[in-house]
Structure formats: structure tokens, C-alpha cells
Amino acid sequence: MKNSPNLLLIDDDIELCNLLGEYLTAEGFQYTAVHDGQTALDVTSKQHFDLIILDVMLPQRSGFDVLKTLRLSDQTPVIMLTAKGDTVDRVVGLEIGADDYLAKPCDPRELVARIRALLRRTSHIQQTSASPEKLISGKIILNLGTRSASWDNQDVNLTGTEFSVLEILVRRAGQVISKDEMTEQALNRKLTPYDRSIDVHVSNIRKKITQAGCQRELIINVRGAGYMLTLSDTE
């Protein structure tokens, strides 16, 4: 029998953790709850989780600090919980490496939908890892089995969501892809007004590919239309 996904819930609101925990359990998830940033890092250093739900405001070490430390060596999917209407926190979280975000107070049904969407990608990785397929566009190589990327043989360390965004662009290199379509395919949800998630993920990908040695504008923004991965490898 397949084990239930194991989640880590990091929030200093104990009552909220209990309420979300009851809902997550009813939906078939296992979960561990911790209530400060340092304990969260201690727990993640000793135990693997399938997904992490991380609040921004935490005692001892903030959610941003926890995420920065995690992303040094851990690509576990992370959903950040941010204050309602706080666009800055959402953008910062995505820039640091969060896969998605949800405003508090959050609807447990929406949280579960986001969790399932991220876990479906993880399940796909496990199913394809035995016979990995590669996508190649110029100097970019994506290994779909291991969800690893490289530029000109230099590793590009992407989060799971960043990989999904880049995969969409590579599969349709030379074509403009709308943000609506990228949001639906990469995030498994509809694009909402003022949602900058795709913009931030693309920005992160650009920075990481530049760090790997790319000297040109690889992903271009076609104003009012979307994004396109360019085909030329001229440096």
C-alpha cells in the first residue's frame, strides 16, 4: 500500500496548525507541525518530507531565513504562507525559492489543491526516473527523470517549479507562450490578477543560467504576449 505523503507544517499559530492538521489528516496526509524557524531547520536536517508549508512570520528565524537555508541543499517543494495582500512577501518568497504561495487566512481546500498539484510533479519524477528522457535546446539540457538542468555542461540548480517552467519553454523553444498557459501548466492553477509568480520564476531561471555562463538574453519577454526561449546559441 502506498504511504501517505508526509508534510511539514511550520507556523507559530498553534491553533491554526491544529485546524489545518485535522483537515490534512482527513485528506489522507501525514504531517508534523513545528512552531519556530530554528526547530524547523533542526527537523528538516534529520527527516525527509514530501512537502513543506512555511509561514513567513516565525520566531527565532524567519520563514525567509528558513527557506534560504533549505535551498542551499534541499529542493523539497515549499508553499509559503504570506499575509493577505502582501505582494512583497510573495515575490521575495518566490525569489528565494518557494514553489508557490498562499495568503493567510487560507482556505484549507485551496491549500490541499496546491499541495496535490506540487506532489503530482514529485510523483511524475519518481515514475520517470527509471528511464530518463532528455530535452535539448542549444546548450540547455534537461533530464526529465532526475529533474536536473545544465547550460553548456554546467549544472543549473533549479527548484521543482523553476524546472517545470523551463521545461515548458524548452519544449516550445522559439514560440511565445502566454503567462496564462504557463501558470496552468507549471503551477496547475489559473492566472489571477496581479499574480507575478511566473515572472519571478523566469527571473530566477535567467539568473541561474547566467551564473552557469550564459552571456545573452536566453528567455525574452514579449510584451503583452508572454515569454519565449530563443533558439540562437551565438554568445
Angle at CA of residue 189, ends 53 and 22, nearest 5°: 35
Tell the residue number behind the cell numbers 515575490, with chain if given. Answer: 91
Mean pLDDT across the chain, nearest whole number?
Answer: 89
What pTM does this model have?
0.81
Distance separating alpha carbons of residues 55 and 82, to the nearest angstrom: 6
pLDDT tens for 162-210 read 999 999 999 999 999 999 999 999 988 889 888 899 999 999 999 999 9
- In this prediction, residue 83 carries a pLDDT of 81
- In this prediction, residue 75 carries a pLDDT of 84
Taking the alpha carbons of 57, 202, 121, 127 in that order, is the dihedral positive or negative? negative
| Separation in Å, CA 220 to CA 25, 172, 188, 231, 234 | 43, 13, 23, 11, 15
Domains and CATH numbers, the chain: 6-127 (3.40.50.2300), 132-229 (1.10.10.10)
Average pLDDT over residues 52-56: 96
Residue 123: which pLDDT band, with cuts at 50, 70 and 90? low
- In this prediction, residue 11 carries a pLDDT of 96
- In this prediction, residue 204 carries a pLDDT of 95
Residue 225 identity (one-letter amino acid): A
For residue 105, the 8-state DSSP code is: S
